A and B are shown apart, each in its own frame.
Chain A
Amino acid sequence: MKQSIILAASVSTVFFPMHAQTAKTPEGHASVTLLTSTSSYQPSTAVQAALQMTYDDGWHGYWVNPGETGMKTEITWKLPSGWTATEAEFPIPERYSQSGIHSYGYHGTILIPVSFIPPNDAKGEVTIEGEIAWLACDEKQCVAGNATVKLTLSAGLPAATKDAPTIRKAVDSLPQASAHHSLLRKIEGKNVTLTVTGPQLENFDGAEILPVTEQALAPSHDWKFSIKDGVCSATGPINEYAEEADEMSLVVVVHGGKLAKPVLLRWSKKM
């Protein structure tokens, strides 16, 4: 029985190959592909996929918070009836500066994990389409790029693709919310102090803080946690465009220091 399942899976791979197309627009200075962990799906079981974006040498794209310039990559899915997509999750970006103007983004190749969830009555071969629109810049200019990515999945027992390990690694590298740590946010004048509380604070010492929330923390400041008298905090200028500072919710990702994995921390007045 076990053998026949393996056989069926491999046969389905042969007869229903995954169609992941690489869409490259030379004028957009990036290429994008929709990768999947499995070439087939079962009803109600999420299919783990990832957008792979590769920027041309010397070019970079932007994070969900692009910083002072640029634009986040927009993703619009066209899904089969009843299917849903989770929010695409962007990896930890680099912070960089050009003429003192600060942005958050990527160069080289990045993976943006996303899952597709079939309905409980899903059947047959399906095609998922995504419209991807991005901005890519080098040190001299910026260009707008867009591409359509497609992925065809067959119905059946999931069979791992060659991309599964790469996607798994990308998922594992994403920031995870910590159930054990809290973020406190205190505004004094034009400065904001972030304090993290919880166990093993020493792991946060020297870790970089990147604001997911736009117009919250000044991007010109090198935001890092440090520990003094047992308190793990970071102080720097508030974003000059921050409005209604008292109400401002804040989501940050923290990475580096001695953290084994990036951590997502959230502050909200409602908490």
Chain B
Amino acid sequence: MIPAKNMFIAMVSTISASLIAHAADIGQPAPDFSTKDAKGAEVSLAKLKGKVVVLEWVNHGCPFVVKHYGSQNMQKLQESYTSKGVVWITINSGSKTSGSFTDDATFIKMSEEKGSKATHLVADETGVIGKSYGAKTTPHMIVITAEGVLAYNGAIDSKKSTNAADIAGAENYVAKALDEVLAGKPVTTSKTEPYGCGVKY
């Protein structure tokens, strides 16, 4: 077994090896991507122009994700906004060697068991999509306008915790941003620091 101290040194030495991008900029075109979802359907951001899009980074083993799925908070958000025509893409950027990677069949099964109402599930095991958006945590939330412009980048809500009891008193930044985008209004809180487990690239 590698002593813990040595592993930390190894981790620090990889800093320059795999830097993720600076968080994508608000008001700028959202980084494009084209991929297959877990069911084999094509997902292309460029082809989703005309639709408001949500990107949600997930890892069902992460306590912060468990907080929002165990409480049905995430599923309610998904249901509420996909019913208004929003395209919701749940992304797992965990690499194949990480504990958070799941193959497509498992990803679908886990999401169905949790009652996910996401439009697409995307396994981004190379991390290309995650890094282009600077996705740091699970969850990490992005809202893209129908014109393909980045409107919100950050946390799901204002209470950084793993405790589901904190959801009721938290400000849900994603719901607020989506309400504003759907109403054609500027987003008042467009960038917050995401909280959660690190994305296991």
* Nearest-Cβ distance from residue A144 to partner chain B, whole angstroms: 4
B62 within 8 A of A: yes
Once A58-B7, A240-B23, A241-B193 are accepted as A-B contacts, the answer to whether A142 and B1 lie under 8 Å apart by CB is no
CB <8 Å contact, B20 and A94: no
- B168 CB to closest chain A CB (Å) equals 18
In the complex, the answer to whether B12 meets A96 with C-beta atoms within 8 Å is yes
Residue of B nearest to A222 (CB): B15
What's the minimum C-beta distance from A40 to chain B, rounded to whole angstroms?
A: 36
Nearest B residue (CB) for A108: B4
Q: Is B68 positioned at the interface, with any CB of A under 8 Å from its CB? A: no
Residues in chain B within 8 A of chain A (CB atoms): 1-5, 7-8, 11-12, 14-15, 18-20, 22-23, 59, 61-64, 66, 97-100, 127, 136-137, 160-163, 191-193, 195-201
Chain A positions within 8 Å of B1 at CB level: 57-58
Contact of A99 among B20, B64, B191 (CB under 8 A): B20
Task: Across the interface, name the chain A residue whose C-beta is closest to B154.
Answer: A241
Checking A60, A68, A137, A138 against B136 with a beta-carbon cut-off of 8 angstroms, the contacting residue is A68
Q: Is the CB of B162 within 8 A of A135?
A: yes
Q: Are A98 and B198 in contact (CB under 8 A)?
A: yes
| Nearest neighbor of B62 in chain A, beta-carbon distance | A142
User: Contact at B8–A60, with CB atoms within 8 Å?
Assistant: yes
Q: Which residues of A contact B161 (CB under 8 A)?
A: 71
Q: Which residues of A contact B196 (CB under 8 A)?
A: 69
Interface residue SS majority, chain A: loop
Which residue of A108, A142, A143, A215 is within 8 Å of B193 (Cβ)? Answer: A215
Binding site for B on A (CB under 8 A): 55, 57-60, 68-71, 94-101, 103, 107-108, 133, 135, 137-144, 214-215, 240-241
Chain A residues contacting B201 (CB-CB under 8 Å) are 98-99
Q: For A60, what are the chain B residues with a Cβ–Cβ distance below 8 Å?
A: 4, 8
CA distance A139 to B193 in the complex (A): 22
Q: A98 vs B95: C-alpha distance in the bound complex, in angstroms?
A: 13
CB-nearest residue of chain B to A107: B4
Q: Which residues of B are found within 8 Å of A68, using beta-carbon distances?
A: 136-137, 193, 198
* Residue from A69, A107, A240 in contact with B198 in the complex, judged by beta carbons closer than 8 Å: A69
Q: Can you identify 19 A-B contacts, CB atoms within 8 angstroms?
A: A60-B8, A68-B136, A70-B197, A70-B198, A71-B162, A96-B8, A96-B12, A97-B15, A99-B198, A99-B199, A133-B163, A139-B7, A139-B98, A140-B98, A141-B62, A141-B98, A141-B200, A142-B61, A144-B63
